[in-house]
Amino acid sequence: MSNILIIKHGSLGDIAQASGAIQDISENYKDDQIYLLTTKPFLELFKKNPFIHDVILDKRLPKYNLIYLYFLMRELKKHKFIKVFDLQNSSRTKFYKNILFPKANHEIWSSSYTTLPIDTDKDKFDKKSVLERFDHQLKKSNLNTKNTLKPNFSWVTTEIKKIKDKFSLEKYILLFPFCSPHLTLKKWPYYNDLIKLITDKFGDEYKIVIAPGPNEINESININALALLDDGKALDISQLTSIIKESSFVVANDTGPAHIAAHVGAKGLTLFGKHTTAYKVNIERENFKAIQVEDLNNLSAEKVFERLVKSLS
């Protein structure tokens, strides 16, 4: 039995996207032990992943912190990994390769750099969708890929009866009107208008709810919807995933919860401005679709509501 390392640091949406690739790596190395290197926000979450033997913490301290770097590299070296799958594909993980396996090709260190198609410019390759790039990377590493292009994030779910009972949740429409403060291009401004359209048509048939993150609780008072909290705190990732999976419909900005919705089979819509495309992040699925516009300020509540009603009918 040998040890295999996967590197995936985050964010939440990235974690959901990588679930299929992680499953494929595990299923191609059934006789080996799969370890995963990740950051603190996802350490406990990945311990639930059935395709991972153990999780290693990377605090991602500055690279000039030589003491931390020494101990991290020592921890990695003691496992004697025979293969590394770099699913983060960042400058940081490329730096790790130069320390651990400086001369390794794709047979030892699988990354978008080591598996780049011949005569293909890296910038051009990066214009492909993220799942297509994962799929190419794993196939170039001689893996069969059954799940990479259709990741399933349902392994994250947990029991949420207590929360559903507390808020009397049966049929509910879940909205994610927030985004990171530095990514305001992703923020659609008409959620309250959408809420009014929904309630005017459906009355009490659906509850309208939101699930604010830890830094979004104060902002949630500006949304005319029921805020789902667990004893005053934001839901954890497993609770959030379960709430999304059991919803009647999701409307979200292009954030982590939208990617969760796409990869647990939830029905819904995500709203894209010019910051990227739904194609590049592989977010559209059988039940989960995208509306892409140049400027989210020009996307009317009526347009989103029309798509919502059509999907619910």
> Each residue of 26-75: pLDDT tens digit?
999 999 999 999 999 999 999 999 999 999 999 999 999 999 999 999 99
176, 286: one domain: yes
190 located within any domain: yes
Which of the four pLDDT bands, split at 50, 70 and 90, describes residue 293?
A: very high
Residue 193: other Cβ atoms inside 10 A:
15
178, 242: one domain: yes
The model's pTM is 0.92
146, 165: one domain: no
φ and ψ of 226, to 5 deg: -75, 125
Which of the four pLDDT bands, split at 50, 70 and 90, describes residue 278?
A: confident
179, 145: one domain: no
176, 298: one domain: yes
245 located within any domain: yes
User: 88 lies in which domain range?
Assistant: 3-151
Q: Looking at residues 187-198, what average pLDDT do you find?
A: 97
* Terminal CA-CA length for the chain: 52
Residue 227 near residue 210 (C-beta atoms within 8 A): yes
208, 252: one domain: yes
110, 10: one domain: yes
143, 171: one domain: no
166, 308: one domain: yes
Write down the pLDDT at residue 124.
83
117, 246: one domain: no
Write down the pLDDT at residue 142.
95
137, 173: one domain: no
Out of 110, 126, 151, a domain closes at: 151
The total number of structural domains in the chain stands at 2
- Average confidence score pLDDT of the chain: 95
156 located within any domain: no
Cα 162 to Cα 48, 208, 215, 223, 271: the distances in Å are 21, 18, 23, 24, 31
Tokens at 92, concatenated: 């940081």
Which of the four pLDDT bands, split at 50, 70 and 90, describes residue 25?
A: very high
Cα 111 to Cα 32, 43, 181: the distances in Å are 20, 22, 31
Write down the pLDDT at residue 299.
97
Rounded Cα gap, residues 268 and 250, in angstroms: 4
CATH label of the domain that carries residue 20: 3.40.50.2000
230, 277: one domain: yes
Q: Looking at residues 256-277, what average pLDDT do you find?
A: 94
Out of 99, 123, 151, a domain closes at: 151
pLDDT of 183 above 80: no
Classify burial at 283, counting beta carbons within 10 Å of its beta carbon; exposed 0-12, middle 13-18, buried 19 or more. buried
Write down the pLDDT at residue 185.
82
Rounded Cα gap, residues 160 and 166, in angstroms: 10
Residues 228-241 have pLDDT tens digits of: 999 999 999 999 99
Write down the pLDDT at residue 21.
98
Out of 86, 119, 151, a domain closes at: 151
Q: Looking at residues 182-186, what average pLDDT do you find?
A: 79
